[in-house]
Every structure is written in C-alpha cells, then in structure tokens.
Amino acid sequence: MALTIEIGTKELEAARSIFGERLTLAERFVEHLATSGIERGLLGPREVPRLWDRHVLNCAVVGELIPADARVADVGSGAGLPGLALAIARPDATFYLIEPLERRVNWLREVTDDLGLTNVEIFRGRAEQAVGKFSVNVVTARAVSALSGLASLTIPLLKGSGEVLAIKGRSAHEEVEKAAKIIRRLGGKSTSVETVGGSLLEEPTTVVRIVVVR
C-alpha cells in the first residue's frame, strides 16, 4: 500500500508516544482501515479523515490501563478497534479478538498477517461462545452495546477475576447507573469512569472500568 492518511502534528506526536518503534505498523493499520476497511463496509468513508484521532489513537491510549503481560479478550473486534490498535501499542500483551461475522474475521486475519502481529489470536463467534475458550484477565470493548448488556457479555470471560475496560462516550456515567445492579450480580466489585490520553489527545478517551474479584 502507498496510501498516506493525513495526520496532524498533535496526533503524530501522540502516535509516536504511544506506538514508539511500532509506529510504522500503526500507519499500515490505518492504511488498511482507509482502503479495504472502507471497501468491505467495516467503516464509513466519512471516517477516513478521522481515523487517527477518533479511532486508532482513541483506542490505543487505553493501553495505559492494561497491566504488563496481560491476556486480553476484545469483544466485537469489528475493524480491530480497539483490539488491533492495542495489540500494536502493547506487544507484551496477548489479544484474543472475538468477532462473529465472517467477513470481519477474514479482514482481521488478513491485517494481522500483513502486520506480522504474533500477539493476536482471532476467534470467530459471539462472546458467550468464547467463555472458557481462553484465560484472560482483561476484557475490552468499544461500541458494542449499552453497558447493561455489555456487562453480561464481558464479565463472564474473566472467570471471576480481572477487569473490563469499555470505551464509552458522554453517557458513561448514566450507563453505569443503569447497569449497577447487573454488574454487581455478575461479580463486579467496583465500577468507575476514567479518562485516558488527556496529555496526548485533544479529546481524552472515556473508559468504564469494572473490577471483578473472585
């Protein structure tokens, strides 16, 4: 690929800080999103100018909440957001991308192979079908469903211990209130709304963090 996606000075500085020597891989990931990702309907064409700030960097900064050498399940990986963005930023961690749709799974495999990401495994199926398939201590998700539904998809993957990191928008606090009972019933011991990337991004990423303790 020879496509170059425009990136602003602030976004470039953030990308260098987050990806370091793997920045070239992040650039190639963005190229995939802007070409085959658009062609196959994983993202809308209007998202191309915002791929860096709204999508890739928005996801990658969540890596600062993930412990060293973590095993991470990413629910509803779709266009690799946040899964592939995090896998590039955090080569020490192992990522299991959970995605039910075949066309998206095929795309994820193609991109993973092209980037040579050895810390990524892809599971075709729903989150419920992935329970017990692998041992993880972190679960991530973005734009999958409201927190009340998302909790029941993500918490069981932890087998009673770990953290859920759900990327959310301005309604995060409201979603936490609505989902409080179901989160407690599923084993969530504490739930907080945190922001990450404030020193790097113009608009920090909002994350709902659910701690599950056996």
Q: pLDDT value at position 12? A: 94
Q: What residue ranges do the domains of the chain occupy?
A: 61-212
What is the pTM (predicted TM-score) of this model? 0.95
Q: pLDDT value at position 160? A: 85
Query: What six digits make up the tokens of 125?
Result: 């199926």
Phi and psi at 127, nearest 5°, equal -60, -40
Q: pLDDT value at position 3? A: 54
DSSP state of 34: I
> Apex CA 96: angle with CA 166 and CA 181, to 5°?
35
Q: Amino acid letter at 114?
A: D
Q: pLDDT value at position 1? A: 44
Q: Is 148 helix (H, G, I), strand (E, B) or coil?
A: helix
Q: pLDDT value at position 145? A: 87
Residue closest to 32 by CA, chosen among 100, 85, 72, 69: 85
Residue carrying the six token digits 């991109």: 111
Residue closest to 72 by CA, chosen among 56, 88, 58: 88
| CATH T-level fold of 61-212 | Rossmann fold (3.40.50)
Could you list the mean pLDDT of each consecutive 10-residue stretch along the chain, which spans 214 residues?
Answer: 70 96 97 96 92 96 98 97 98 98 97 98 97 96 91 94 95 95 96 96 96 90
DSSP track, 36-104: IIHHTTSS-GGGGGGIIIIIIHHHHGGGGGSPTT-EEEEET-TTTTTHHHHHHH-TTSEEEEEE--HHH
Query: What six digits make up the tokens of 91?
Result: 């080569």
Q: pLDDT value at position 14? A: 95
Give the Cα separation of 74 and 96 in Å (integer). 6
Query: What six digits make up the tokens of 49?
Result: 């100018």
Residue closest to 139 by CA, chosen among 51, 115, 182, 130: 130
Phi and psi at 210, nearest 5°, equal -110, 120
